[in-house]
Amino acid sequence: MDLGLAIKERALTIGFDLAGIAPLGVWRDLEFSRQWVEKGFNGEMSYLENPKRFDPRLVLPSAKSVICLGLVYNAPFPCSTEVSEGTGKNQESGVRSQKKEDRARNPLVRPGPPVAGDDGQRTTGNGQPTPRAWISRYAWGHDYHQIMRARLEQLRAVVEELAPGVETRVFVDTGPVVERAFARFSGIGWMGKNTCIINQEKGSWFFLGVILTSLELAPDLPAPDRCGSCTACLEACPTGALVEPYVMDASRCISYLTIELHCSIPDEFRPKIGHNVFGCDICQDVCPWNNSRQSSVLSSQQVTSQQRHSSDRHHATHPATTKVSQFHPMTVAAIHPAPEDGGVRKQLTTEDGPLTMDDGPLTTDHRPLATGPASYSLYNPPLDALASISPEGFRRIFAHSPIKRAKLSGWLRNLCVAMGNSGDERFVPWLEQAAKRSDPVVREHAAWALKRLRGK
């Protein structure tokens, strides 16, 4: 059997959803990446300036081929563009589909369905819906770096078994390699106008990993660009980060602003962030290749005549969902006010004993902001529940989550912005306390949110 084919088949057996071989010489795309950085589109992400990113031979001098892998992380829950910022509507749709055996090792969290009331909503005593937050789909569960890395190491062992003496290097979004440039030439997908790699059968909800190898493997044919005349992603981006098709100014992207940026978010972008507290999914949510309700439109309007006659053209199907339970939304045990302290402090009992939360519930007149369930999901979670997580809780709950990358300061900053955008004055007491914190970034954004709420 052809060595490249054998490697790809083993990759699928290990659990990857996509596998392809790219040549080393994708120089035009790598030069584009270098020029992109020179234009300042990387913002404060200085690690993207590493010269090794623009020549893989500086990473592995013997490199001749790149094995590209994709792992779907899409969980079967509605998109951010399909839910209300003020309610948990549509949340219940995925509750009963989750397997009961999904559990995480962290005693504070577990993979599981969104937990909500019978109608999937949280309300106050007067029935007013509680504002909700949005966490990017890729961060609902376990840190993908760990899961992808483990599988890549499995495949690396296979490659070394099939070709003793081969040299390899493994990367998953952490090393000096432009994974998307190679993925585009590996056949697993094309570069979409939203700058994500899109696969015609599975959409774009998948992680990328690569293995540089000294083997000279036969490359796969690049996938044809099937975006057609569609500009849904460019039109939907709230901050105008997609400055033109296939070009993103990351310094304007909500994901960058809420994760990679560690200082103040520019004033002009704060209202546009909406209820996003970690990342943003909008440009993927609106993509017809990720949305079965829109895919029929794509098939009839956005596909060229040549593609219509192609035997592998896109058909209206549901986007692929993950087989990895750790990518499903984690469920966080809620902390309820203790009756003897008037709801000022909250406790959570874990396997290690009670965990005291120093931040009290959001209140207006010494009553909790919302009457919530026993636990809540990271899918479209209640904003007040996220705000009730203490510094210690943040470290423990998100110990194995991508969310830890924002750090506590960034997390609190993002919560302030979401509260300011919620229009809900019940957040005023929490923000008043946040405005007194020692962290100047948190204080600044709390003051901004208070001004926005009081001036509404």
Catalytic residues: 173
SS3 330: strand
* CB-CB contact of 153 with 371 (8 Å): no
What is the Cβ-side half-sphere exposure of residue 42, based on CA atoms within 13 angstroms? 15
Tokens representing residue 146 in the block: 């760990």
Sorted by sequence, the CB contacts under 8 Å of residue 100 that are 6+ apart come out as none
Spell out where 106-228 has E strands. 109-111, 134-135, 168-171, 190-191, 197-198, 206-213
Tokens representing residue 288 in the block: 């017809």
Whole-number Å distance between alpha carbons of 348 and 97: 27
Which string of DSSP letters, residue by residue, matches 258-314? III--SPPPGGGHHHHTTEEE---HHHHT-GGG-HHHHHHIIIIIS-HHHHTSTT--
Whole-number Å distance between alpha carbons of 203 and 195: 13
Tokens representing residue 66 in the block: 């790149």
* CB-CB contact of 110 with 104 (8 Å): yes
Q: 27: how many CB neighbours lie within 10 A of its CB?
A: 11
Radius of gyration of the chain (CA): 23
99, 105, 110, 112 alpha-carbon torsion, rounded to 10°: -20
Q: How far apart are the first and last CA of the chain?
A: 68
361: nearest Cα among 331, 395, 389: 389
Whole-number Å distance between alpha carbons of 429 and 360: 10
Where is 135: in which H helix or E strand? strand 134-135
